[in-house]
Amino acid sequence: MWRTWTRRVPPGADQPPVRVTVVTTLPDRRLLLVHAHPDDESIGTGSTMAHYAATGAHVTLVTCTLGEEGEIHVPALAQLAADQADQLGGYRIAELEAACAALGVTDHRFLGGAGRYRDSGMMGLPTNQHPRAFWQADLDEAAGHLVEVIREVRPQVMITYDENGFYGHPDHIQAHRVAMRAHELAAAEGIAPAKVYWTAMPLSVLEAGLNHFAESSDNPFAGITDLSELPFGTPDPEIAACLDATEQHVAKETAMRAHATQIPATSWLYSIAGNFGAEFMGVEYFTLAVGAKGPGSGPYGWESDLFAGLPVGAPAGESADPGPAPDGPDRAPVAAAGPR
């Protein structure tokens, strides 16, 4: 991809601005994920991220908030809570950095910069009304921040949540809205990702879990007798892709354990992993919201590759605005997941 900037010249210099053309080399496959909080990437798409990173794709993670309103499962850190020192968000930057390292992902950004949008808390809480709450974000402004990322990395595939944010959290719903609006804005520039997937869980998988844990003491489905009582679940025929990355199940679990404030060591998530093994950690499912479904298999034609049907080595797109000029001829490398 060719990108051109005007290099800045110090005031008073007797030389004109210099136009600099930079060749930015990106891998043939480029994947963008839009998540609400630190830990969402690992729980929902960790194996997918690790799989594509390991196979040479450029994986970009955009996290919309710092997760300031999250629970704290480490007693020694309890005073970081939002109603005390309000320092949890900063701590979770480091957790996210460790998780990204476990997944092999080096390109992570916070939407609009770290701290631009605040965790809104669960639906209906007073924290939804915080002036910086992501739930209150101006849609076009927030989407504009995401379009800036799309211009830079030119992903062919984007992953986010469905219109209910998978389970109804306001920040997940807003992440969906922002991602889909950004896709619209990027389409107007001719740089929109060719395919957009939403995270999903097949009803058949949920039913297997419900049956398996029926008599268990750590049953995460306790009190639920019918799948319709759950806030999520997708009929199997509506699933578009099943990404089997069981070879990455250890990377996913390691990434999840990096989010120690949010996922205790005794979590039922690890219990399920212990009972179901690599399949639970390593297989992730998606519906296709935008784009044409590629070749698949099985009774419902599920894709096994999110890039299925896309031309190999699709161009990054030449028509977009190259963005602001850097201080020098080359952009600085993207930082990992935040300050140490």
- pLDDT tens for each residue of 77-86: 999 999 999 9
Checking if the pLDDT of 90 tops 70, the result is yes
Using a CB cutoff of 8 Å and minimum separation of 24, what contacts does 308-314 make?
A: 308/241, 309/195, 310/156, 310/157, 310/194, 310/195, 312/28, 313/28, 314/28, 314/156, 314/194
- All structural domains of the chain, each given as residue ranges with its CATH number in brackets, are 29-290 (3.40.50.10320)
37 is in an annotated binding site: yes
Q: So what's the pLDDT on residue 74?
A: 96
Q: Which of 56-65, 70-79, 136-145, 210-219 has the lowest mean pLDDT?
A: 210-219
Q: What average pLDDT does this structure show over 69-89?
A: 97
pTM: 0.84
Rounded Cα gap, residues 148 and 111, in angstroms: 10
58 is in an annotated binding site: no
Q: So what's the pLDDT on residue 314?
A: 59
Q: So what's the pLDDT on residue 170?
A: 98
**Element (DSSP H or E) covering residue 198:** strand 195-200
Q: How confident is the model at residue 297 (pLDDT cuts 50, 70, 90)?
A: very high
- Between 215 and 115, the higher pLDDT residue: 115
Tell me the pLDDT of the chain averaged across its residues.
Answer: 85
For residue 51, what is the DSSP state? H
- Between 82 and 26, the higher pLDDT residue: 82
Residue owning tokens 């520039």? 189
What are the residues facing 35 on neighbouring strands?
63
Half-sphere exposure of 157 (CA within 13 A, CB side): 30
